[in-house]
Amino acid sequence: MADLQNDRFLRALLRQPVDRTPIWMMRQAGRYLPEYRATRAQAGDFMSLCKNHELACEVTLQPLRRYPLDAAILFSDILTIPDAMGLGLYFETGEGPKFKHVIRDRATVDALPKLDATVDLDYVMRAVSTIRGALNGQVPLIGFSGSPWTLATYMIEGGSSKDYQNAKAMLYNEPETLHALLAKLADAVTDYLNAQIRAGAQAVQIFDSWGGALAHNAYLEFSLAYMQRIVDGLIREHDGRKVPVILFTKGGGQWLEAMAETGADALGLDWTTDISQARARVGSQVALQGNMDPAVLYAEPAKIRAEVARILASYGSGTGHVFNLGHGITPGVNPEHAKAFIEAVVELSPAYHR
């Protein structure tokens, strides 16, 4: 493996000096890019794209050919673990992911198999190693997983949900059943992320997409506690480098102090949290990643640049900031607007690192 030519993303996550603020985008390989849509059509469907390591590598590299990004992120899906547990993942056009089988009681939780990520999710590991080789040290590769709570919501609801009726009913009526499910998932996620690290991922992110839907104490007990368990079990150094860990709870701004106590290296912020306030609260413990509203990318380039300038000024001088969106880039964004966003960070951020 080649040495990294650009390690500012990893350095910023570890709060080491950088020449400018690094940038990548959640969902940077995705439907806003015409070349992605062409590759997905070639694959036939979304999961076929995920399971073809050469095509997964191709779509991972596509945004790097267009933009001066500081990291690549594995092209995959957060629902690979429940799929490997036999729940039968499929996608309805325009409706998102669905499962043929759902988890509603202790018996179905107990029946879930224990995963061996290198065997049961070998296609992901092949994608990681293929991408890492193709990058040839250009930028670091990020691996990722969904959080136990977020995965559990899909497994219990059978797909996406607005109110998490079944998952929250289990949380309040049968907490021991939900804890049993979350414990299984935490072990699976730990194994999965460690397998990605061994295959070549140089940083990992845990996506707690639905943690913000929980009540205060429920978040601490049913989401954060299991992310803590994962962080405690992760490989933190590989190939002679530290492997930074990013926790991202969408809607989680009120829990930053508790999240920082997990020992993660960085916290992702959505756009509802002011980054200067977040830095004042936890910036001496962790790096911060974020946090422009993805909808800003629908605005004209001058407005995008102004919002980038505002966020950079809000964070202030010094390292420990990875610029990103506050959630994933949306399919309707003009790729030229994404370019204006990234170039604004590249051009405006060096002034904060002198």
pLDDT in tens, 240-283: 999 999 999 999 999 999 999 999 999 999 999 999 999 999 99
Q: Answer whether 99's CB lies under 8 Å from 154's CB.
A: yes
Residue 266 per-residue DSSP state = E
Q: Taking all residues of the chain, what is their mean pLDDT, rounded to a whole number?
A: 97
The C-alpha angle 135, 209, 102, rounded to 5 degrees, equals: 105
User: How far is CA 50 from its chain centroid?
Assistant: 16
pLDDT at 145 over 80: yes
C-beta separation of 162 from 92 below 8 A: no
354 in a known ligand binding site: no
Q: What is the CA radius of gyration of the chain?
A: 19
Q: Which tens digits make up the pLDDT trace of 11-45?
A: 999 999 999 999 999 999 999 999 999 999 999 98
Indicate whether 2 pLDDT > 70: no
Residue ranges of domains in the chain: 23-265
Is residue 93 scored above 80 in pLDDT? no
C-alpha 252/C-alpha 232 separation (Å) is 20
| Average pLDDT of span 103-129 | 97
Residue 275, φ and ψ in degrees, nearest 5:
-70, -30
- Write the single-letter amino acid at 120: D
Alpha carbons 136 and 2: distance in angstroms, whole number: 5
> What is the reported pLDDT for 206?
98
Distance CA 128, CA 80 (A): 14
Question: 192 catalytic, yes or no?
Answer: no
Proportion of the chain above pLDDT 70, given as a percent? 99
Does residue 232 carry a catalytic annotation? no
**pLDDT reported for residue 94:** 73
Residue 7 annotated in ligand binding: no
- Of 27, 132, 229, 305, catalytic: 27
Nearest to 182 by CA among 158, 148, 135: 148
- The answer on pLDDT for 77 being more than 90 is yes
Strands 96-99 and 89-92: antiparallel
User: Binding residue per annotation — 76?
Assistant: no
Report how far residue 66's alpha carbon sits from residue 9's, in angstroms, rounded to the nearest whole number: 18
Summarize the confidence of residues 331-354 as an average pLDDT. 98
> How far is the CA of 300 from the CAs of 27, 36, 37, 291, in angstroms?
21, 23, 24, 18
Q: Give the residues across from 249 on adjacent strands.
A: 208
276 touches 237 (CB < 8 A): no
Q: Is 28 annotated as ligand-binding?
A: yes
d(C-alpha 215, C-alpha 290), whole Å: 23
Confirm or deny that 251 is annotated as ligand binding: no
CATH topology classification for 23-265: TIM Barrel (3.20.20)
Whether residue 36 is annotated as binding a ligand: the answer is no
Query: If pLDDT is split at 50, 70 and 90, which confidence band does 3 have?
Result: confident
209 is in an annotated binding site: yes
Look at residues 148, 294, 291, 290 and name the one whose alpha carbon lies nearest to residue 209: 148
> Is 316 within 8 Å of 279 (Cβ atoms)?
yes
User: What angle separates helix 165-173 from helix 148-157, to the nearest 10 degrees?
Assistant: 110
Query: 270: which DSSP letter?
Result: -
Residue-by-residue DSSP string for 284-342: TTSEEEEEE-GGGGGS-HHHHHHHHHHHHHHH-SSS-EEEEESSPPPTT--HHHHHHHH
pLDDT of residue 181: 98
Question: Residue range 68-74: average pLDDT?
Answer: 98
CA atoms within 13 Å, Cβ hemisphere of 25: 31
Q: How many residues can be counted in the chain?
A: 354
Phi and psi at residue 242, to the nearest 5°:
-70, 145
40 classed as catalytic = yes
pLDDT of residue 112: 98
According to DSSP, the β-strands at 96-99 and 203-208 are: unpaired
pLDDT score recorded for residue 1 = 41
Choose the catalytic residue: 37, 66, 77, 123. 77
Is residue 327 marked as binding?
Answer: yes
Cα–Cα distance, 247 to 219 (Å, whole number): 14
How far is the C-alpha of 242 from the C-alpha of 130, rounded, in Å? 21
> Is 20 tagged catalytic?
no
Considering the candidates 36, 154, 164, 315, report the single residue annotated as catalytic: 154
Tally of CB atoms within 10 A around 17: 10
Instruction: Check whether 173 has a pLDDT greater than 90.
Output: yes
Active site residue 77: yes
Tokens read off for 180: 């049993």
Q: Confirm or deny that 48 is annotated as ligand binding.
A: no
